[in-house]
């Protein structure tokens, strides 16, 4: 038997859900961007995502 800690009794290994791509969409209000903008810029820069940082910077200037 596989060491599944008993999960195999309740959950199937592969299902249709295993092959479905899940996409989420998020919205951020102007106020939300003002609150989170600087944090987003710092995180993007730390991760080397300069274009993402620039996109937020441009939106903060509007």
Question: CATH number of the domain that 23 lies in?
Answer: 1.20.5.1300
Residue 14 resides in a domain:
yes
Predicted TM-score of the model (pTM): 0.61
Residue 51 lies in a domain: yes
Percent of the chain with pLDDT over 90: 69
The Cα 49–Cα 36 span in angstroms is 16
Range of the domain at 30: 7-61
Tokens found for residue 30: 């102007």
Tell me, yes or no, whether 12 lies in a domain.
yes
Report, as an integer, the average pLDDT of 28-41.
96
Number of domains in the chain: 1
CB of 60 within 8 A of CB of 34? yes
Please say if the pLDDT value at position 44 is more than 90: yes
């Amino acid at each position: 038997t596989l060491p599944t800690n008993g999960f195999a009794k309740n959950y199937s290994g592969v299902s249709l859900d295993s092959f479905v791509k899940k996409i989420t969409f998020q919205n951020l209000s102007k106020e939300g961007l003002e609150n989170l903008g600087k944090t987003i810029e710092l995180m993007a820069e730390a991760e080397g995502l300069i274009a993402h940082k620039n996109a937020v910077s441009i939106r903060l200037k509007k």
